[in-house]
Amino acid sequence: MEISRVLLVCHPARQNAAQTAQQLADFLRSKDIRCEILNDYRHIPKYPLADLCVSLGGDGTALRCARATAPLQMPLLAVNCGSLGFLSACEEAEALHCLQQILDGNCQITRRLLLSADIVRAGQKPVTNLLAFNDCVIKTLQPRAFPLRVQYNGTELKNYYGDGLIVSTPAGSTAYSLAAGGPIVEPDLEVLLLTPICPHSLTERTLLLRAEGELVFSPAFANAQDRASVSLDGQNDYELQNGDRVILRRAKHEARLVSAGTYDFFARLREKLEWGTRRA
């Protein structure tokens, strides 16, 4: 890939991320590549012609940058300057070497589908085109179960009764959905996962649906004062009440994640989640 301008997006509270960003900036400028160091991912759209975005932080920083770069079709290199770093292509100490490999063309771009959510509220202006990389979660705000009506492509699917529902992308199957008992899904599959949260039923399991369909969620509370929330990637939250609807579909744009060499999803599972590790 041809690279003439790079955005370096740092987690604002991580000093190590800022130091690594400066090292990468010095390296890039030595090769006559323009670069900008940003402390806020919301500034990314100001540079639509950048060829590469590098996030320096944890998975939260990578998620924010993935949602911001997807509409620009801008590749994203996630450098882990945090703890888990499941979405990262490399660790902080490897960042310079990883970037050099990408400049040399020894890299792979993998595409990840995103979710697009619209929230329709009675008597209020709808909130539209909210993006999620991992998941969209509809969850009660009270410590009690509530019914959630679900339609898929205009057909009644079912009423879920419990604490809520996680709608996950394949890439997000290793996040909240996994913690709620959902399966691990290879991230390039074209499916959506519906995983119930604490269902009041012995038969509830994760449901896989084609990613091209449209889902509509309508909470139905027994008490007028009850509320739920819809959360995108655990970072953007909106309150729901009776009569509100959440419309969920596949986003028009995909995230483009860059890795040096060849991306190995199963190696990432073994390394980050200790998948298949036998305990003595």
Catalytic residue IDs: 59
H or E element in which residue 174 lies: none
Which of 91, 84, 92, 90 is closest to 15 using CA atoms? Answer: 92
Integer CA distances (angstroms), 72 to 44, 45, 76, 128, in order: 9, 8, 11, 18
**Using an 8 Å Cβ cutoff, are 130 and 144 in contact?**
no
Give, in order, the Cα–Cα distances in Å from 134 to each of 116, 137, 172, 179, 270: 11, 10, 4, 13, 20
Can you read off the two tokens belonging to residue 70? 């997807």
Reduce the secondary structure of 200-257 to three states and give it as a string. Answer: CCCCCCCEEEECCCCEEEEECCCCCCCCEEEEECCCEEEEECCCCEEEEEEEEEEEEE
Cα Rg, the chain, nearest whole Å: 20
**CB 54: neighbour CB atoms within 10 A?**
28
Lookup result for tokens 């036998």: 278
Q: Is the CB of residue 257 less than 8 Å from the CB of residue 75?
A: yes
